[in-house]
């Protein structure tokens, strides 16, 4: 009975957090992800979890990630990516190159002091080309130890918070010392979507109305079918490769399904996927042990600092060389390393609304490609030892 109540808590607590997020400014400032991690750490370290509950936690994690990935991808507009051109696309490439270089450098500098370092490399590539959903997906694909995953993500949150403060305060002035300013001609002429970003990707308003709920349940059903297909294909392969195949297959089919107009237009699929990611955050945090947060984990912290701060400045230098303006560079860096919700925040600090839409498109592209890049890089490091 206790296990059933705990599983219910895992699924209901994020609902409460999302409701409070829209009503209270302080909850919105802290962020649903941080709150779910905090409560997960609390319940995992006060001795209330029953013995043998790890199996239930693993099952919940597997299911929510497998269903979240397609839901996050159904609303993608690949045609909008194709229309994207010019400085925005160039800045995307330069940003990815910067992340790859700094993560590779960090691997050779710090990997010896980090357990499962090749898996950590994959997670860092995933999170800095997409965001938390990619970090969670790669954790499942590579079977990363929950403690290593949690250390990685908490250090990422800390370093990311400092970086965000820099981006919204003095970053523009700093990089203008050697980069050119934004001009109106730099604005991408991307066709605007029928709905605003907030309505399409953040607002949960009306999600329980019949008009939205029933199609959304159908989308969840499609996600279940995709999970079943991926699971069936994985059984044809060795056990060690099965979860990787499941995650990449789910990602590929999810992207393919976004081309089907009836699926692509289902409302709130992205929000449903984010909700499941919050469930994952709560569960995986409850599996962690506080005793792991010691000075011995400093190499991981240094690697993350290099990946975040180092890639930002390397991206700036490359953008200067290729004549990308400062605002496009900063908004694409934000979209890649911090995910789409932070794009409007940084754009507001830059006082430039013109870069919001290209930044959001880049951020959502990151959700789609982060899994492939992360897994590819992880296995590359694994193969070279």
What confidence category does residue 291 fall into, taking pLDDT thresholds of 50, 70 and 90?
A: low
Range of the domain at 194: 2-384
| Highest mean pLDDT: which range of 46-55, 151-160, 199-208 | 151-160
pLDDT digits (tens, 9 = 90+) for 48-79: 777 778 778 888 888 998 898 899 888 877 66
The reported pTM is 0.77
Burial class (CB in 10 A: 0-12, 13-18, 19+), 156: buried
Given this model, what pLDDT does residue 335 score? 86
Provide the domain count of the chain.
1
What confidence category does residue 190 fall into, taking pLDDT thresholds of 50, 70 and 90?
A: very low
């Amino acid at each position: 009975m206790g296990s059933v109540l705990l599983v219910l808590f895992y699924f209901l607590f994020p609902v409460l957090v999302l409701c409070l997020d829209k009503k209270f400014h302080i909850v919105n400032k802290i962020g649903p992800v941080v709150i779910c991690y905090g409560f997960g750490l609390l319940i995992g370290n006060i001795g209330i979890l029953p013995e043998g509950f790890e199996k239930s936690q693993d099952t919940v994690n597997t299911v929510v990630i497998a269903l979240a990935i397609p839901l996050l991808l159904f609303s993608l507009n690949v045609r909008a990516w194709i229309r994207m051109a010019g400085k925005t696309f160039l800045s995307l490439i330069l940003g990815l190159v910067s992340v790859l270089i700094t993560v590779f450098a960090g691997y050779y500098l710090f990997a010896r002091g980090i357990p499962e370092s090749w898996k950590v490399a994959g997670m860092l590539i995933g999170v800095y080309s997409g965001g938390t959903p990619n970090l969670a997906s790669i954790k499942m694909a590579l079977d990363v130890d929950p403690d290593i995953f949690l250390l990685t993500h908490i250090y990422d949150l800390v370093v990311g918070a400092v970086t965000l403060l820099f981006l919204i305060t003095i970053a523009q002035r700093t990089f203008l010392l050697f980069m050119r300013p934004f001009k109106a001609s730099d604005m991408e002429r991307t066709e605007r979507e029928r709905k605003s970003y907030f309505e399409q990707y953040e607002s949960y308003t009306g999600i329980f109305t019949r008009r939205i709920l029933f199609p959304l349940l159908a989308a969840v059903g499609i996600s279940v079918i995709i999970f079943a297909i991926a699971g069936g294909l994985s059984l044809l392969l060795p056990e060690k490769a099965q979860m990787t195949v499941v995650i990449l297959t789910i990602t590929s089919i999810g992207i393919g399904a976004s081309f089907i107009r009836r699926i692509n237009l289902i409302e709130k699929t992205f929000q449903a996927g984010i909700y499941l990611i919050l469930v994952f955050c709560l569960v995986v945090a409850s599996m962690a042990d506080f005793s792991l947060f010691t000075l011995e984990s400093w190499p991981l912290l240094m690697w993350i600092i290099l990946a975040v701060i180092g890639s930002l400045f390397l991206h700036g230098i490359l953008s200067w060389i290729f004549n990308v303006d400062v605002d496009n560079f900063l908004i694409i860096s934000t979209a890649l390393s911090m995910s789409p919700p932070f794009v409007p925040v940084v754009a507001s600090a830059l006082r430039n609304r013109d870069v919001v839409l290209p930044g959001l498109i880049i951020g959502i592209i990151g959700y789609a490609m982060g899994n492939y890049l992360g897994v590819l890089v992880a296995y590359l490091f694994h193969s070279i030892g």
